[in-house]
Structure formats: structure tokens, C-alpha cells
Chains A and B, each alone.
Chain A
């Protein structure tokens, strides 16, 4: 098991599993409703040309969120094969 990092700090192309996210705040409720929940695998696809927001792949679709939100989500990077 690797140490949790912030979703915003994930390398491009890296896969990870969401571990913890804030309970309150409408942003995180919306993310949950769109399928980003503790235990969900995500892949960081790319960052926007100006460095923010980021694009992740989750449950088979692409989702963008800003780094400020991503910084509050702890993920556990998958061990690269």
C-alpha cells in the first residue's frame, strides 16, 4: 500500500484510488453524485494548457475539476506495473 497523495499532485497518466474527501461543501457532494467517491479508481488524464483545471477519467468518462478542489481529495496511487 502506497502513501496517500493529493489528487492534484498525481502525475499525468497515473492511476489511483480515492481514499478520503471532505464531507461538507457542495463541490464535494456534486463530485460524489458524479461518481467520485472513496474507493473509486481514477486516472489523471491531463492538465489544461494553463495548468488548471485538471481532467480525470472516472467510471469510464472524463471529468474536469480545479486543482483547488483536487487538493482536498486524498488518493492512493496504484503501483505501476
Chain B
């Protein structure tokens, strides 16, 4: 097919080369994920870039000739200048700085047509790279609704690249895109713009040094030199190659020179890019019809961010979230719990009694089962988070909550992760990926498990029942005590966030520069795909760790074996766990706990609610039925210290509840924090500071209470 005269063909890729790699690049909320899903279908691999917690999504698309094409979905960004790990990965992949990811052969830029100027900024930076680029103008239907008339052919002619109008949500334009992707002779962009005079000399000097000292191709070197001037190369992530000292030296000497002359190099560079873009769009975009008053998003926002209605909407959304977690998740949780025990029973019947059988049934199935039980909750949370993100409400929640979060030095984006942690800290911690600033993100991860999660609920309920037995105590007192626990955890989370932001993770005050994207109808398929991907990452990465710890916990409770005929309580008492409980007793006695409670604390590492069933074994009372803990309560009421004092005094129960509010006792959370922070340092620090706080507060409560005669 002959090319239009303005397109210059690039050299066709050599036939013996590997599968061609296409990178998808664009602003957040431009429909990039929808397009990626449309191109690759279910053939996707979701993983991580080694060494950083940035999601790596790759998939396979098929060319018109049936050739497989690799597509990488790069993180959404407004600029190649990196301020977060996500953006650093994007920049490094495009510049070929990462050893673990091939430099893309071709780049597909996606732009939201309703907002072309800002979307073209990153496109403009990418055109500098001198690689074959396809520009996709997404959401053409919405642009037409907004009265925008976009002359696609003119834009294509001006940039010298194929420009494809598209509506990713209904597949329009997809065939044309695939046709363009299949072309062996994709043109190189014809791209010229005027670099501001004071910095042009610096660009060529840096370019020369990058070619000579960093072995870059000339065009890439020029793009990287331009980028250095707005990027300053401060955000570096693992897996990216560093610049040579000579290049950095040249850069610093220019910085010094501009500093004395008062040249605003970065600002003028951005300005001249936008000048070039405005020149381009002036010829391409026409406001055909004036927009008829406020658009739908403006009308929704008038309610959703209203000083009164805004809070009601936020409250209603969050209530819906929690109600659905606690109601919808119940049936599948019971189902998983029942089937785990059915499976264990089936194994028990088929295998000869022995240690291997017990390892499989009690260790592997029991332990993993107690964690998988939480999977329905986690899935529902991921679903809601995906829904809130894709509709655009997430940004509004952050907008409303920012003022409150800023009091402790965080920004509004920490709100959803912390709130989700009331249900379960795991999705909460995984949702912190939307927080750009690495320090803010870490602080949020560190304090999120202080929010009382649903696994603490059975423990609170048991303790409240033991603390205020029978029906003499009015219900409001019980509810009040429960609310007090939630309030303590929340206060603790905010208090520690405040402390960490001032000491350990001191940084610049967080910014709240954020787009409020237009409201969009969520695409169920995209939300489900994202939910599935995240849950899979949790299961795969945390799964092995959880299985290992479950087996260790089982081993501690099952060995050494008691003499034949011992009941489970006696077996547990003389096991390693029992001995550990005894060893722990001197440490926890000042909190009012004996070695038997110590066993419960150790077993809580599987999941906090395991405390209840462990108490059932320890005190020889059946507590299999979660609803009915009456036999256990009676047994606990009879429990005594060796000197005859009651063990579960109201004060000891209260102290134990305080301990559960603050202590880090969840191996799944530890596994996820390890994964999200990429080191053992932070989960260990978190375990120590949380459990230390728990010990101190319980100590103060128990000792003060004892001194006062409770």
C-alpha cells in the first residue's frame, strides 16, 4: 500500500527478530486499561517489575496476519518526569534503562480526546524518542458530545504518525489500530519544536555525553537529556541503570550556571512544549457547538462534593461497602470453612492415622483454610475499590477527606486504604498503590493494620461476653465497649501516622495535585479482571508464606506427643506451643495473662480469630460453633491462676482486648507488607512497634487497674 506523502517509512523490523514489543502509554483515566484488555483479551500476565512494587502487565495481541505481538501496559502518567515509582518504571522502560524489560519497539500513545492538550504533553515527550509511535484518540464519542470537532487527518499530518480515532469501551477503532500495529513500515514521527534558547546548548552537551559515556542511541540521548532538565533524576527504583558520573557532572554544572543567572530552565521547557501543543491543537480541535451548560460530571459533583450532601454520599458509599462485606461475604466464608473441614475429614478417612495425616489435615488444610476464609471479604473489597476507581468516585473521596488526613501529615489518598483496613488490612495495604509519594505510602502501610479488622471481632465479642456475662449488663454498655476498641485502633493509626511523618519518614508535606476525572460508567469486565488479578497476586505471593507458617504452628501444637489417652487440652499443654506459652508467661503476666492465654496469642498468628478456637481447646470446651460460645465462656469463668484467683477477671479481659487492638498478630498481613515494601525491614519494624505498643498499653491498663483494686 503506498504511503501518504507526509509519512516516512521506518526500516521494517528484521524478520529473524523476537516477537515485536508494543508499549501502551497514556494519562491516568484515559481508557488505557480498557484498550489493553480489548487488545489482549484474557491473555494477560500480571506480575511485578523485579525489585519494585509496580504492577507489570503484559499480554499478547494478534496482528492482522496472525503474528503474535507482545503488548506492555505501562503505568498511567501525565509526564515522563518521574515523581513516583510508577512513573520511574514508565520512564526507564521507554528509555531502555531496565535490564528486565526489553525496550519497546513501538509505542502506542492513548489520549483522551475530550482533553487533548494535557493528554498530548506526554505524547510530545514520547515523540522526542524518535521511535515509531501510533496515537490513539480515545473517547471520540464523548468528545463529540462535548461539542469538540477533532480533525484527525490534520493531526496525523502534523505529527507524521498514524492517528486512530477510537472508542475503546465499544471496540470502535480497534480494527484500525490492529491494522496500524501490523504494518511493517510504521513511520517515524516528524517532530520538531523549538527548545528555549538558554537551554539548547545544555541539551546538546548532555546529549553528547549520554552518547559517549552512557552508550545511548543519539535520539534517545536527546530525549533523555531533555527529560533530565525536568526530571532531575531524583526518583530511582531498583532495576534501573544509573547515569555515568560525567553526565551528572555536566548536568550539575549547568544547574549551577542557571542558578546564578536566574534561568527557569524546567519551567521554560514545559512552557515551550505547551506552546507547541497549543499551536497544534489550534489547527486540529474546533469547539463546534458551545457546551450546553454544566456537563453531567459537574452536576454529579455539585451533590457529591456538597458541604452537606457530600458527607451523606460518602457515608452511604462506605456503609454500603461494609454492609456488603459483612453480609455478602458470610455465605462464601461459611462455605469455604465447611469445605475445608469436609476435605480434612475426607483425608482423615482415607489415610492411616499418623503424623503425615495430621500434618495435612490440621497443618496444611486447617491453616490455609483459616486464611482462605477471608478471601471472599478480600475479593469484595477489591471489587469495591476497583468500582470506586473506575467510576471516578475515589478521587472525590480523597478530595473530601484531604483536609482531615492532612492534620496527620497524609493526604486524601490514604483515606480509602485506611478505611478498607476496617474489613481487612490486606486489600487496604494493596490499595496504597494509588498513593504516589513513597513515604506517604509507607506510613499508610505501617498504620493500616491498627484499624480493627474483622478478624478481631470474634475476639472482642468473646471478651465482652466474658467481661460482662449474662443479661444483667445493658446492651449499650457492650456496644459502647466495642466502639471504644474501634476508636482506640483508629486513634492509634492516626497518632502513629502523625508520629512517623514527623520522625522516621519525614518528607515534604504531601501534595494534593490530583485530577478529578469525569464520572464514567464502570466496565464490569475491567473491574472483575482487576479484582481477579489482585486476589491472585495475594494468593500466590502470600500463599507459600502462609502455608509455611501454618505448618510451623501445627507442628508447635502437635509435638512432642503426649502419652496415649491424653485429651487435646493435655496434648496442647505439653506441646511446644504449651511450653512457649509457659516461657512467655513471665513477659505477659504483668498484663494479666497466663501461659494458656499465651498459647492463644501464639496461635493468633494464623488469623486473630483462631484465638477463640484455641481457647476452646485449651479449656476443653467445644467452641466449634461460632455463634454459641456459651460453653467456652463457662469454662473460661472457671479458669484459675495456680493460687486460686480467677484468670478472666474483667480487668484481664479488658487488658486482652487492648492487646488485640494494637498487636501485630497476622501472618498474612506480614507477608503482604513484605511484598509491598520489598524488604523484611518494614514488616519487622511494624510487628515490633505495634506489639510493643500493645504490651505497654495493656501493662498500663492492668497495673493501674490492679492498683485501683479492680
Q: Which residues of A contact B (CB under 8 A)?
A: 23, 26-35, 37-38, 45-46, 48-53, 55, 59-66, 68-69
Q: B399 near A59 (CB under 8 angstroms)?
A: no
Q: How far is the CA of A54 from the CA of B342 in the complex (A)?
A: 56
Give B575-603 as 1s and 0s: 1 = Cβ < 8 Å from A's Cβ atoms.
00000000000000000000000000000
Q: A69 near B513 (CB under 8 angstroms)?
A: yes
Q: B121 near A48 (CB under 8 angstroms)?
A: no
Q: B305 near A33 (CB under 8 angstroms)?
A: no
Q: B270 near A33 (CB under 8 angstroms)?
A: yes
Q: A32 near B267 (CB under 8 angstroms)?
A: yes
Q: B399 near A61 (CB under 8 angstroms)?
A: no
Contact residues in A for B290 (Cβ distance below 8 Å)? none
Contact residues in B for A23 (Cβ distance below 8 Å)? 264, 266-267
Q: B511 near A69 (CB under 8 angstroms)?
A: yes
**Is B243's beta carbon under 8 Å from chain A?**
no
Give B654-681 as 1s and 0s: 1 = Cβ < 8 Å from A's Cβ atoms.
0000000000000000000000000000
Main secondary structure of the interface of B (DSSP, over half): helix
CB nearest to B263 among chain A residues: A23
Contact residues in B for A26 (Cβ distance below 8 Å)? 83, 508, 511
Give B29-48 as 1s and 0s: 1 = Cβ < 8 Å from A's Cβ atoms.
00000000000000000000
Q: A50 near B403 (CB under 8 angstroms)?
A: yes
Question: Can you identify 14 A-B contacts, CB atoms within 8 angstroms?
Answer: A23-B267, A27-B513, A29-B81, A32-B270, A35-B118, A37-B270, A48-B402, A49-B307, A49-B310, A55-B305, A60-B118, A61-B516, A63-B515, A63-B516
Q: How far is the CA of A35 from the CA of B518 in the complex (A)?
A: 17
Q: How large is the interface on B (under 10, 10 to 19, 20 to 34, 35 or more residues)?
A: 35 or more
**Is B343's beta carbon under 8 Å from chain A?**
no
CB of B109 to closest CB in A, whole Å: 16
Give B212-253 as 1s and 0s: 1 = Cβ < 8 Å from A's Cβ atoms.
000000000000000000100000000000000000000000
Q: How far is the CA of A50 from the CA of B305 in the complex (A)?
A: 10
CB nearest to B114 among chain A residues: A60
Cβ-neighbour of B514 out of A32, A33, A50, A63 (below 8 A): A63
Cβ-neighbour of A35 out of B274, B402, B517 (below 8 A): B274
Also in contact, A34 and B78, with CB within 8 A (given A49-B310, A53-B512, A62-B516): yes
Contact residues in B for A37 (Cβ distance below 8 Å)? 270-271, 274
Contact residues in B for A29 (Cβ distance below 8 Å)? 81, 230, 266-267, 270
- Which of A33, A35, A48, A63 neighbours the largest number of chain B CB atoms within 10 Å of its CB? A33
Interface hits, B388-412 → A, CB 8 Å: 395, 399-400, 402-404, 406, 412
CB of A76 to closest CB in B, whole Å: 17
Q: B118 near A34 (CB under 8 angstroms)?
A: yes
CB nearest to B262 among chain A residues: A23
Give B104-139 as 1s and 0s: 1 = Cβ < 8 Å from A's Cβ atoms.
000000000011011001000000000000000000
Q: B115 near A61 (CB under 8 angstroms)?
A: yes
**Is B70's beta carbon under 8 Å from chain A?**
no
Q: A32 near B271 (CB under 8 angstroms)?
A: yes
CB of A23 to closest CB in B, whole Å: 4
Q: How far is the CA of A23 from the CA of B400 in the complex (A)?
A: 29
CB nearest to A35 among chain B residues: B118
**Is B523's beta carbon under 8 Å from chain A?**
no
Q: B513 near A50 (CB under 8 angstroms)?
A: no
If A26-B83, A61-B115, A63-B516 are given as contacts, then 18 extra A-B residue pairs at C-beta distance below 8 Å, sorted by A number, are A27-B511, A29-B230, A30-B513, A33-B79, A33-B121, A37-B270, A37-B274, A38-B271, A46-B305, A48-B305, A48-B399, A48-B403, A52-B403, A53-B403, A55-B305, A60-B117, A63-B515, A64-B512
Contact residues in A for B306 (Cβ distance below 8 Å)? 49
- Which of B306, B511, B515 neighbours the largest number of chain A CB atoms within 10 Å of its CB? B511
Q: How far is the CA of A17 from the CA of B412 in the complex (A)?
A: 28
Q: How far is the CA of A49 from the CA of B518 in the complex (A)?
A: 19
Contact residues in A for B114 (Cβ distance below 8 Å)? 60
Q: How far is the CA of A46 from the CA of B307 in the complex (A)?
A: 10
Q: How far is the CA of A62 from the CA of B298 in the complex (A)?
A: 10
Q: How far is the CA of A28 from the CA of B395 in the complex (A)?
A: 21
Contact residues in B for A66 (Cβ distance below 8 Å)? 402, 406, 511-512
